[in-house]
Amino acid sequence: MIELMITLFIVGILAAIGLPSLKSFSQGSRLIAASNEMVSALHVARSEAIKQNVAVSVCASSDAKTCGAAATWKDGWIVFVDSGYTLTNTGAACTGPNTDCLLRVHEGFDNSQLKITGVDPNSVAVKSLTFTSRGLPLAANGSQTSAVFSVCGLDDSGSTSVSRAVVVSVAGRVRVSDNTAVISCP
């Protein structure tokens, strides 16, 4: 009986130490997966723009078909050929060269402790990013830009516990950063 009580006591101590670590490990893994999915979408958009010699856009979308004015990156995003730089006609299937069509869809995250925001160098919210046929990123107004997408993991109190940034340079290079100076989380 004493041996059983000692074993239960040791298991209780290990569980008390291990469970919080397991939760933070799980949240960190979700954060890495979300930022990697954003990097993948941006890489696809840039490479397809260069390959097809046409503009390709990435935008926040809640319906997986159109760019949403009220959509957030957490709601999901789409990658599509945008030959007229209009951010429209995104839900159609690809039928031929230089036709606006949907290339990739990323469904939203249902994790309430994950937040994804995008900002340009002037701290203006980024809802879309278009890559030219030369692989250069453009803002929605058509000017060349860079962007930082902050992927933030929140704890139970709403404070940031882990974060990463997906950085798009003005030359179109996409990379992941852990530099807290570029990450803007709540």
Residue with the bigger pLDDT between 96 and 151: it is 151
Please say if the pLDDT value at position 19 is more than 70: no
For residue 57, being part of any structural domain is answered with yes
- Identify the CA nearest to 130 among candidates 90, 89, 86, 94: 86
Q: Which helix (H) or strand (E) holds 29?
A: helix 2-52
For residue 137, being part of any structural domain is answered with yes
For residue 73, being part of any structural domain is answered with yes
Q: How confident is the model at residue 21 (pLDDT cuts 50, 70, 90)?
A: low
Q: According to the model, what pLDDT value does residue 90 have?
A: 67
92-149 per-position pLDDT tens digit:
777 776 678 889 999 888 888 888 899 998 888 899 999 999 999 998 888 999 999 9
For residue 129, being part of any structural domain is answered with yes
For residue 171, being part of any structural domain is answered with yes
Measured CA to CA, the distance from residue 8 to residue 18 in angstroms comes to: 15
Q: What is the CATH number of the domain that holds 62?
A: 3.55.40.10
Arithmetic mean of pLDDT, 54-65: 90
Q: According to the model, what pLDDT value does residue 165 have?
A: 92
Domain tally for the chain?
Answer: 1
Arithmetic mean of pLDDT, 70-77: 85
Please say if the pLDDT value at position 81 is more than 70: yes
Q: Which helix (H) or strand (E) holds 154?
A: strand 147-154
Residue with the bigger pLDDT between 173 and 28: it is 173
For residue 6, being part of any structural domain is answered with no
Q: According to the model, what pLDDT value does residue 88 have?
A: 79
- Identify the CA nearest to 46 among candidates 163, 149, 143, 175: 175
Q: How confident is the model at residue 89 (pLDDT cuts 50, 70, 90)?
A: low
Range of the domain at 40: 24-177
Q: According to the model, what pLDDT value does residue 155 have?
A: 79
Q: According to the model, what pLDDT value does residue 112 have?
A: 80
For residue 19, being part of any structural domain is answered with no
For residue 186, being part of any structural domain is answered with no
Arithmetic mean of pLDDT, 150-161: 81
pTM reported for the whole predicted model:
0.83
Average pLDDT, the chain: 86
- Angle, alpha carbons 9-13-17 (nearest 5°): 170
